[in-house]
Structure 1
Amino acid sequence: MSKAEIEAALKAAFDQCIAANCPLTEVQKQILLEVAQRLSSSAEETANSEGTNPLDELTVEERLALLDFVQEQESLNQPWKVQLLNDWLNNTDSGSVQFIRDRYGLQWLNSVQPAHLAEYFQRLSAELKLKAGDRIEVSNGLWEWVQEEGPCSQMWVPCTVISVAERENDYSSCIIRFDNGSEYEIQGIYDWNRYNWRWPS
């Protein structure tokens, strides 16, 4: 995070402290600013010297959760790191990205730079593109109500992509053929239905 981003995140946190009727003193604010800037500088130096991407440390599921969170926050015009820091300062659960606080911490968070995210967004975009003839697995969640505990649990069914209709803004669809010969069209294949298909394991 840049110095301006850190100051903005902390200012938002300070404002929330005031709103919660627990304002910080000027000395406390100054200490938090200095610590955050030191951590940011240290993380940046480490990342630059090693040339590694901190997102490499995440599991595939964690990385996808983080990338989804970043996209969601950016679509709302909210800096994603600011949202996480606010959650942490308010001891609020961060949902699907709570693992960052629990397993990785502030230093890891500060080591993540826009270039690191861009690298994985580019990889993800390339990995997602389907073409006719690809074998994938689809979830029965496409055509029936799936519950964790209930009569219909999630199952994965193998199939073959027979056509893909690419449209702008990832509003693309594809037609798949199951091994029994029946066909099914999946709308929003790269968007809202992304979690209902996967590459075969």
Structure 2
Amino acid sequence: MTKEEIEAALQAAFDRCDAASCPLTETQKQILLQVAENLTRIQSQPSGDRSPSSTNPLDELTDNEQETFLEFVREQEREDRSWKFQLMNDWLNNRTSGEVQFIRDRYGLQWLNRVKQEHLAEYIERTPDEILKLKVGDRIEVSNSLWEWVQENGPCSREWVSCTVIKVDEIDGNTTCTIRFDNGSEYEIQGIYEWNRYNWRWPSG
């Protein structure tokens, strides 16, 4: 579909919402139109120019944009707030996002939705002793070496298991994280940042 065809389809949807007495706000309409514009731009690129889905979206930012965006994420982390929720809240309420307004203006909602914790960690954890903090509800993968003796060429090889963070406690500088596996069982990991960082990772894909 062309940009004009997508916009016409969206306008028809807006009209149907109005007719059903469920009108969208102007901000909501603008966000949807912006997503459509981004999709059209990506589809119009030659296939060789498109980034694979596995590519880190932060690679698409300029160096200055990366630095500004990552500092924004760090600031939200320090305040124990969701950086993505903050941006979405600004957009839906048509508020400026300050120094990271360029995310909305140049990259849009589609780019924002592609950014995962693993992408942020890839950049943030390049700095020694800097770790993207875990929060309750985060999905991570943990290594079986937490509870099994794993050797490179031994009978038990290293495997990764998906789980959900259900509790994070910091006591005397050490952080304990409780996780819940998909089968319902729970496991407590001592020193999740301090000495067990090697045994967990952000899920890819």
TM-score, normalised relative to structure 2: 0.38
Which is helix-richer, 1 or 2?
Answer: 1
So what's the TM-score if we normalise by structure 1? 0.39
